């Protein structure tokens, strides 16, 4: 019987202490990636800097043909959110991630992501469209061929706007080097 790598990870991760995945409210495709990323050191967000981002490639880079998953983990400070889908006429910026891949690497498919929620005010009225809170994981399949140099730079550019009930920060764009 042949195991798919995702199922192997799902079976092994609980043995490594990754058993609190459900509390992150991630979809099944992102669970093993997010759990591994939680073990990575990440500067925690604060009210002063409410967004922290890391990006990793799984499995690690190698020369030749491979299929990897690039995962971007965003952690937000308590009470803060960033936007998912918003109406076209909204003054708020949706979160967008762009892959920056070297020769020999190509994106395969679309981003998968943590589910977003509808932003509501204290009275339960919908405000701005969809938003993300807490821990968010985006993942994308990346395929490499024999022209891929494992030492070449892979990065993602993420743009977002972070807000809470009192502050609306200006839109921000960050380039994150994938480790």
- If you compute the radius of gyration of the chain from its CA atoms, what whole number of angstroms results? 17
Distance CA 57, CA 71 (A): 6
The helix/strand/coil state of 9 is helix
Element (H, E) at 12: helix 5-12
Distance CA 131, CA 168 (A): 13
| pLDDT greater at residue 150 or residue 65 | 150
Please name each of the domains of the chain with its CATH number: 5-177 (2.60.40.1250)
The reply to whether the predicted model has a pTM over 0.85 is: no
User: β-pairing, 155-160 with 96-100?
Assistant: antiparallel
Residue 30 has pLDDT above 50, yes or no: no
Distance CA 60, CA 150 (A): 9
Which residues share a beta bridge with 114?
A: none
- The answer to whether residues 162 and 129 touch, using CB atoms and an 8 Å cutoff, is no
| pLDDT greater at residue 156 or residue 91 | 156
Q: How far is CA 164 from CA 90, 99, 149, in A?
A: 17, 28, 42
- pLDDT at residue 80, as a whole number: 92
Model confidence pLDDT, tens digit, residues 114-139: 776 656 655 555 566 788 888 888 88
Distance CA 110, CA 140 (A): 6
Range scoring the smallest mean pLDDT among 35-39, 70-74, 84-88: 35-39
- pLDDT at residue 52, as a whole number: 93
Phi and psi at 127, nearest 5°, equal -105, -70
For the segment 33-61, the average pLDDT, to the nearest whole number, is 77
């Amino acid at each position: 019987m042949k195991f798919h790598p995702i199922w192997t990870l799902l079976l092994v991760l609980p043995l490594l202490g990754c058993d609190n995945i459900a509390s992150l409210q991630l979809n099944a495709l992102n669970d093993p990636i997010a759990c591994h990323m939680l073990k990575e050191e990440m500067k925690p967000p604060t009210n002063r800097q409410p967004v922290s981002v890391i990006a990793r490639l799984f499995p690690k880079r190698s020369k030749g043909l491979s299929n990897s998953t690039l995962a971007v983990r965003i952690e937000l400070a308590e009470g803060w959110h960033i936007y998912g889908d918003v109406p076209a006429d909204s003054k708020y910026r949706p979160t967008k991630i762009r892959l920056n891949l070297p020769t020999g690497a190509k994106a395969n498919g679309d981003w998968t992501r943590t589910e977003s929620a509808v932003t509501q005010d204290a009275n339960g009225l919908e405000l701005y469209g969809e938003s993300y809170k807490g821990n968010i994981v985006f993942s994308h399949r990346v395929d490499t061929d024999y022209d891929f140099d494992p030492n070449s730079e892979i990065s993602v550019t993420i743009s977002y706007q972070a807000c809470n009930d009192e502050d609306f920060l200006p839109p921000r764009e960050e380039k994150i080097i994938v480790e």
